[in-house]
């Protein structure tokens, strides 16, 4: 049993990305790395469930950072690092397993995930 499991009240908060929820032609290498992070955090959450250790997966959308500063992204989909921090803190306080930042990303990604592969592969995303 690890020290984390013995303490039985700790949190691990992992930052992944909505990009890891479905492989897209525009960023499949980045998305595959983030998808791996999400799967790892999911397995860790499952593993620590009985010991009461909490694992939160954070799935941000677009964040105003150096990585996105030269990208032509829709302003309404952007979040500041401070907004992301607020979402993470609220998820921690509510003991959530998964948090999307901003809130509407769960809907966007739900729609993207239910598009049949035959149609999805012809889309320019």
Q: What mean pLDDT comes out for the span 47-73?
A: 91
Domain that holds residue 17: 3-61+79-120
Residue 68 lies in a domain: no
Residue 72 lies in a domain: no
Residue 69 lies in a domain: no
In order of 17, 106, 124, the CA distances from 86 in angstroms are: 16, 17, 32
Band (pLDDT 50/70/90 cuts) for residue 5 is: low
11-41 pLDDT tens trace: 899 999 999 999 988 889 999 999 999 999 9
Task: Look at 87 and 67; give whichever has higher pLDDT.
Answer: 87
In angstroms, the CA 21 to CA 109 distance is 7
Burial class (CB within 10 angstroms; exposed 0-12, middle 13-18, buried 19+) of 58 = buried
In angstroms, the CA 60 to CA 63 distance is 7
Residue 85 lies in a domain: yes
- State the pTM of this model: 0.86
Query: Domain with 109 in it: what CATH number?
Result: 3.40.50.720
Residue 57's nearest CA partner among 74, 45, 70, 69 is 45
Residue 113 lies in a domain: yes
Q: What mean pLDDT comes out for the span 73-96?
A: 95
Given a cut of 70, whether residue 57 has pLDDT beyond it is yes
């Amino acid at each position: 049993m690890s020290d984390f499991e013995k303490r039985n009240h700790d949190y691990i908060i992992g930052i992944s990305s909505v990009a890891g929820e479905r492989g897209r032609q525009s960023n499949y290498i980045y998305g595959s790395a983030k998808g791996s992070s999400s799967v790892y955090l999911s397995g860790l959450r499952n593993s620590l469930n009985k010991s009461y250790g909490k694992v939160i997966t954070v799935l941000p959308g677009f964040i105003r950072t150096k990585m996105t500063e030269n990208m032509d992204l829709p302003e309404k989909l952007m979040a500041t690092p401070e907004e992301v921090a607020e979402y993470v803190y609220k998820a921690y306080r509510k003991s959530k397993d998964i948090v999307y930042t901003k809130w509407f990303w769960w809907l966007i990604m739900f729609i993207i995930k239910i598009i049949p592969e035959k149609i999805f592969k012809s889309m320019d995303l």
